Amino acid sequence: MDGGTTTKIGVSITASDPLIRAGLAQCLDEHQHIETTNDNADVVVVAMDIAEASTIESLRSLNPAAVKPVILVVENRWRADIATAVRLGVRAVLWRHHFSAGAFAQAIRAVSDGGGFLPISMQGALVDQLQRTYREVLAPLDMTPSGITHRDIDVLRLVSEGFGLEEIAQKLHFSERTVKNILYKFMERFDLSNRTHAVAYAIRAGLI
């Protein structure tokens, strides 16, 4: 029986085999704070035989705009691009041959709280992919893994420390106009209203 939180987590389950769907739902019966639902689910669970490009793309229709965290229960080996799966909302993967009701409930709680639940091998593969993307794509463009340039971060950090535009320009060896343009483009990109808003956003996003 669950303890702690009193808020129920709504879970929708999709599987081509109705017996598999029923089995997954039954695994949650003893967890009073997790309930299966077809409407307004907090977590989307999808059971599939093979995770490959075509099956991963099918998540688009189940999870428009990747607004809900997805748990995949997969029978066979992973054959899809991990970064694409993450972009489509996948936060947890459970191998069916290692499946347990306890791990299933744990994964649901983890992703509903904004966490993840990936096998160790997939964690390593995802880190490798991120490092390769940074090294081969982002670094040559002077961009960080967050898609923000290093000079954006330098300017925002100095603004957060209370420096004025002229002082920032001197410290970074930019023109004052360049500093203004950097701040303007950053605010425009993320629909921010002013410098204070930009700094607050950068802090929340872990950029500075």
Taking only the tens place, the pLDDT of each residue in 9-53 is 999 999 989 999 999 999 999 898 999 998 889 999 999 988 888
141's tokens: 């463009």
- DSSP 3-state of 15: strand
Whole-prediction pTM value?
0.68
- Give the mean pLDDT of 72-86: 86
- Of 87, 119, 151, the position where a domain reaches its end is 119
Domain membership of residue 101 (yes or no) is yes
**Could you tell me if 99 and 169 lie in one domain?**
no
Cα–Cα distance measured from residue 36 to residue 27, given in angstroms and rounded to the nearest whole number: 11
Domain membership of residue 128 (yes or no) is no
Q: What is the pLDDT of residue 6?
A: 63
Assign residue 184 the CATH number of its domain. 1.10.10.10
Q: What is the pLDDT of residue 1?
A: 47
Cα–Cα distance measured from residue 208 to residue 196, given in angstroms and rounded to the nearest whole number: 13
**Could you tell me if 93 and 166 lie in one domain?**
no
The total domain count for the chain is 2
Domain membership of residue 125 (yes or no) is no
**Could you tell me if 72 and 31 lie in one domain?**
yes
**Could you tell me if 187 and 107 lie in one domain?**
no
Assign residue 34 the CATH number of its domain. 3.40.50.2300
Amino acid identity of residue 94, one-letter, is L
Cα–Cα distance measured from residue 134 to residue 145, given in angstroms and rounded to the nearest whole number: 6
Structure confidence by residue, pLDDT tens digits, 141-194: 777 777 788 899 999 999 999 999 999 999 999 999 999 999 999 999 899 999
Q: Inform me whether the pLDDT recorded for 103 exceeds 60.
A: yes
- Of 119, 150, 185, the position where a domain reaches its end is 119
Range of the domain at 149: 142-204
Q: What is the pLDDT of residue 139?
A: 77
Handedness of CA 66, 70, 75, 81 (dihedral sign): positive
Cα–Cα distance measured from residue 90 to residue 176, given in angstroms and rounded to the nearest whole number: 43
